[in-house]
Amino acid sequence: MSRIVSFVSLALVLACSQAPQPVSSDSAPSASGHATSASDTSEATASEQPARPAVPKGVPVGGAPPAPSAGGLNFVEQAGWVSETPASSLRHRQYKLPSVEGDDEPGELVVFYFHGGGGTAAANIERWCGMFAQDDGTSSREAAVVTEEEVDGMKLTHLDLTGRYIAEMNPGEGVRHNKPEMRMLATIVECSGGPYYIKAVGPKATMDRWAESYDAFIDALK
């Protein structure tokens, strides 16, 4: 009898000494008493990350630097021009050229800076010529007056073109302007820190009025 009691006592001692099995971390109960999976934990961690600040409209993604001072170029506003706040970060300067009597809209001159990009002079000349059509059916490229010059290490490519303005109203949408008797004066400035693309477009009479001051604006760059 004493042997049986001893055996039972020994069994009870051994059972009580067994350590409890740990609960798997994959199914550990949360504060609410429900198991929390690894995917729930990942989502919670992601939701706690600070939101990235919104990129202001018009600012290039990636924080492209603002246009430099054109490596010593002088952008001199001409008398009668109206300086405007650039409509996008790719516009280094923007001016309204007031219309002359008889024209129902002003001209606009913009200095574009694409942070080192923007394409070659030849490619831009072709693209700008494609914004015009000639009512007599001839090629706008043939109608354009294109000249080149080199001054103080800069290469300047000039364009003077008149015709029907058929550029897209908004790039990629396919809806085009249809404005007769328009003129474009444009210059591509290849220089240290550039290139810069200067383009002025408006009704022919208005652009004729401001052509001399456009030349003065370009001369001041040199």
User: 98-131 pLDDT, tens per residue?
Assistant: 999 999 999 999 999 998 789 999 999 999 999 9
Can you give the pTM of this predicted structure? 0.68
pLDDT at 157 over 80: yes
pLDDT tens digits, 131-156: 999 999 999 999 999 999 999 889 99
pLDDT, the chain, mean:
77
Question: Which of the residue ranges 16-30, 35-49, 166-180 would you say has the lowest mean pLDDT?
Answer: 35-49
Residue 53 confidence (pLDDT): 33
Q: Coil, strand, or helix at residue 27?
A: helix
Tokens linked to 4: 């049986």
- Could you count the other beta carbons within 10 Å of the beta carbon of residue 90? 19
Q: Coil, strand, or helix at residue 173?
A: coil
Q: C-alpha distances in angstroms, 18 versus 1, 4, 11, 45, 132?
A: 27, 22, 11, 37, 91
Q: Of 43, 64, 184, whose CA–CA distance to 114 is shortest?
A: 64
Residue 117 confidence (pLDDT): 85
Residue 116 confidence (pLDDT): 79
Q: How many helices (H) and strands (E) does the chain have?
A: 5, 8
Please tell me which of 28-32, 85-89, 182-186, 218-222 the model is most confident about, judged by mean pLDDT. Answer: 182-186
What is the average per-residue pLDDT within 77-104? 96
Residue 54 confidence (pLDDT): 36
Q: How far apart are CA 171 and CA 85, in angstroms?
A: 21
pLDDT at 97 over 50: yes
List of domains in the chain: 87-219 (3.40.1000.10)
pLDDT tens digits, 44-75: 222 222 233 333 333 333 334 444 454 557 89
